[in-house]
Structures are given as C-alpha cells and as structure tokens.
Amino acid sequence: MATGQLFSRTTQALFYNYKQLPVQRMLDFDFLCGRETPSVAGIINPGSEGFQKLFFGQEEIAIPVHAAIEAACAAHPTADVFINFASFRSAAASSMAALKQPTIKVVAIIAEGVPESDTKQLIAYARANNKVLIGPATVGGIQAGAFKIGDTAGTIDNIIQCKLYRPGSVGFVSKSGGMSNEMYNTVARVTDGIYEGIAIGGDVFPGSTLSDHILRFNNIPQIKMMVVLGELGGRDEYSLVEALKQGKVNKPVVAWVSGTCARLFKSEVQFGHAGAKSGGEMESAQAKNQALMDAGAIVPTSFEALESAIKETFEKLVEEGKVSSIKEVTPPQIPEDLSSAIKSGKVRAPTHIISTISDDRGEEPCYAGVPMSSIIEQGYGVGDVISLLWFKRSLPRYCTKFIEICIMLCADHGPCVSGAHNTIVTARAGKDLVSSLVSGLLTIGPRFGGAIDDAARYFKDACDRNLTPYEFVEGMKKKGIRVPGIGHRIKSRDNRDKRVELLQKFARSNFPSVKYMEYAVQVESYTLSKANNLVLNVDGAIGSLFLDLLAGSGMFTKQEIDEIVQIGYLNGLFVLARSIGLIGHTFDQKRLKQPLYRHPWEDVLYTK
C-alpha cells in the first residue's frame, strides 16, 4: 500500500445509500475549508435516480442521484472515493462492485458487522489491485482543510475547535472513530493540528492497517510526526513494530495501545469493537505498548500522559526547525439551517400554508380536532367526516345522514349524461383512472350538476326578500338568467325525479324547518304552469334543502351560511358523489375491455 497522500482539496466522492446528515456535514466542511467545488460528486441510491437538494454554504445545490454504481462512476470519472453507508447485509457486495471500477481508488465501509469472510475477499482484491480499503466499522477519515468522509470529526463546532479546517503537521491513525474525535482535539491543543487522520475500524480484519497508514504518512512531506492509537486484541500493531525495527519510518511516532485495564478483570473481556478482545499475552495492551517502545516509538506510561508525549515530541520538532509555523485563518461562518434556528428561538419564519381542518403532527391524525381513533370508536360515517373536514364541526346526525343520502343519490345517473360519457370515452382511449375521472369531472358546471350553489343562492335571496314565485321567476327572465335548480331534459310533471321525492321526504321527517324547500316547491308550481318539464330538479332540491339544514341546525351564523354558498360547498357534494360513479364507469369499461370509441357518422349533421 504505502504510497502517499489519499486526498486533496479537489478530491470528490460518490456516496452510496443516501443519508442526509453525513452528506451535508461533508459539504459544510468543504465550505469551511474554502473549497471551490463540493466533495460529493454524486449519490448512489439503488433503484432511484434524480437529484438531492443540499446546501453548499449559503447556496442550495442539486447533487445527481444514480441508480447503479457503474452509472455513477461513468457520470463522475474524477470521483475516486467511494463512501459506503450500506447496511452490513449489502456492504460487501456494493464495496466489491466499487473496487472493480477503474475510477475508484479508495473505498470506505461504514457498516459494522460485515461478515469476516466477505471482508477478507475485499482486502485481497484491494491489495491485488492497488486500492485502499478503509473499514469496515469505520467513521472514515479526514485531511484537514481538504476532504472528509461522512461523519468524521463530528459536528462543525468540533471541527473548528480541532482546527481541522486547515492542515497541521500531524498524521493520526486509530482503530476507534469515537476516540479519533477526542484525539483530534488533543492534538490541536498541543501541536499545530492534524494533517490527516484515519480511523481504520474496530473489526478483527481491517481493510487497511495501522502500519499501512503510518508508512503512507511517512511519505507525505507535510506530515512531520505521527500519532497512533491502538487497542488490545489482534496483532495489527506488530506490523508497525516491524516497520519501525526495519527503519521504514523516519519520523517520530507517538503511540498508545488502549485496554491496559483488561488485566484487572478475572476473566477475558470483550470491549466495544469486535477486535478489542485479547487472545493471549501478545495481544494485550501492555505487550503491544512494550513492543512499540522497544521498536523506537514514543510510548507514554498511560493514556493520560499521551497528550504530554505528543506535546513534547512536537516542541522538539519545532526546536529542531523541522516544523514551520502555520498562519492561522478564520474559517467562514456556516449558515445555520432554518429548522434548527427556529427550534433554538434565534429566528422566526412565516409559514407557507394555513390549515384548520386537520392535523397530522401527533400520534394520530385529527379531523377538526377529533382524533382518528375517536372517529372509528364512535361509529362516525362519511357524512360525519365531511362535517368535520368541510364545516369544522360535528353536525347533528340528521344533517350527516342527509349528506350521505345526497352522495348516494348523486353518485351516478347512467352512462348517457355528459360527465359519464366523457369518462367512458377517455377510459376507452386507454387512459388511466385519474385521467378518466378528471375528464368527467371537468364537465361539471352550470349546465351539468354544478347548479346546486346557484340554486341555493337565488332561492335564498328571493325567499329572504319575500319575493313571490312570480316576482322571482319573471325577474330572472328579465335578466336573461335561467332559474338554477328548475328544469330537466327527461323528467316532467308526470314523471317526477325520484331522487327529489326521496330528499323531500327525508327533510320533512327530520329537519326542524323546510322553509327554503317549500319556497322552491312554490317556484316549481309556477314554472310548471309555463312548461311541463320545468320541474324542481335534484340540484334545486339539494340547494334549497341544504339552506334549511344550515339554518335549521342552529350551528351556523347568517354570515357563515352566505360564505358556504359563495365558496361552493354545495357543488362539492355533487363533485364528491359523482366521482364514485365516474370511477365505476372507468372500471366498467376497463373490465369490459372496450375499444377506442368513435362517434357514428349517422349521429352527426354534416352541413355547410
């Protein structure tokens, strides 16, 4: 492995299995370091493509998302680092796929619990093909002022405190990601800071070893000294011992192997990492520390003394003139995310949407303040739900029953009406459900099913002004306005609309008052004297009866009733109801496998 520097200020990575926080932390680090380009070139999410919006300083950027490793590598040939956030179940396969890409030079595996047999195969392939494998079970690595992997070094505050936004003179390698964060802080306190830090991971078989990185650090001119933090278990540290004995390392190495407390336990102890378990005297922390010391490493007497050992070694290098002073820089301020700023009370921001009918923020959704569980437990019906979501109150049962009757009676009126016809033609053209439904709904208007609001509006105005049916109808005639809710293409005096009769019967039996309905009936009597088909239709019946419902329930003010009619609530009933039938017609045509509809010639008048 040896060679030298892995990363630079232009290094870019591909991030596998998108996680928002570590990617954003990488981009924030880039901005902190003054990089011109983001270090994340692309994201790989198996099975999905597109873009992910993230922040690069104050600017919002779109990072490409690719469905496959091969496609991502082809799209971003300069990205040579593969950061793998896959689970332990798929980490090996995806890492091997990345190692096989000619553009990838470094693979970091974050997952813990990768099977050892899979890890050995990855290590063998990486070494045979001159690739670098960091992990598994690693937090990653960092080159100060240049590039970092995922969550390495933790929060921005910690990175600033550890002066990782600019390079120092110390190379650091550890098995532990958590202890790396601690050591970055320690090194920053007593030296000019970290140049590069690597956490190789705590598994029994790490993809790269402590000595691999120490030998690599030895070849990097900017690194003047190295710090190693090992741990009991395994024999990885002994490869470093051999390298020191053979004179392959010519820079000071300060080392400590954690786990000396293991001897205090009567039985063998498994520490946090899979590899942190002593398998004999040679794998003990004491034996490793002694071997490192004998080989020439600077080994303190305890972990507490490690900081002093690092400080003394660095100061000696300064005295010898081997370390030049580093000019301190002030890193830019990372803009705080709006969500965290709001949470901390630093800023206030206007909302973009107001909602008063439902709330999904708690343990269960609420309709107008009524929890979903209560709706089910109390046996609410569709009418009750409509009363909550449309009128923001629980209406009496006779009101919600009337709403349900309206929906049932208006659900469909056969295949020949214009809305159903449009839906049928669209469905037979092979269009999907939503397209077929919408084509029918778009027909609803003043001439088809959309006259309920107008009927209510005009009947209410005339009744409230005490106009006689004659004055009302003739006044509308003078204005050139047809009376909404009156007239039918098929129904007549002798062939009444059964739906109207059912609605009137229910209202007379259940409503406290039917003043507006009775007025509509009087208007019908007058219009029938003019023509046999000028009967009260279902729009007029629903419109007038809904006025009685709103006024008679005692739950609405006059202003609220006027607003309900003006907004279009009552037409909403027809839209909701007829959607049921239009969906039915769509399914019917699909089920019957009906071909594309073409209107017959004989039904068209061709004329000049």
Paired with 64 in beta bridges are 51
CB–CB of 431/423 below 8 Å?
no
Nearest Cα to 204, choosing from 85, 113, 269, 87?
Answer: 113
Options 213, 273, 413, 585, the catalytic residue: 273
Locate 484 and state its tokens: 């909404």
Helices (H), 194-268: 210-218, 236-245
HSE at residue 365, side-chain half, CA atoms within 13 A, is: 10
* Strand order across the beta sheet in which 194-199 lies: 147-148, 140-143, 194-199, 170-174, 225-231, 253-258
Using the 8-state DSSP alphabet, how is residue 358 labeled?
E
| Residue pointed to by tokens 């709403």 | 403
Catalytic status, residue 273: yes
* Distance of alpha carbon 230 from alpha carbon 208, whole angstroms: 13
Inter-CA distances, 21 with 15, 24, 107, 485, 543, Å: 12, 5, 20, 59, 55
Inter-CA distances, 166 with 44, 146, 237, 326, 337, Å: 29, 8, 29, 9, 24
Using the 8-state DSSP alphabet, how is residue 413 labeled?
-
* Distance of alpha carbon 189 from alpha carbon 199, whole angstroms: 20
Query: How many degrees, rounded to 5, is the angle at CA 297 between CA 296 and CA 299?
Result: 125
* Distance of alpha carbon 446 from alpha carbon 431, whole angstroms: 26
Q: Supply the residues annotated as catalytic.
A: 273
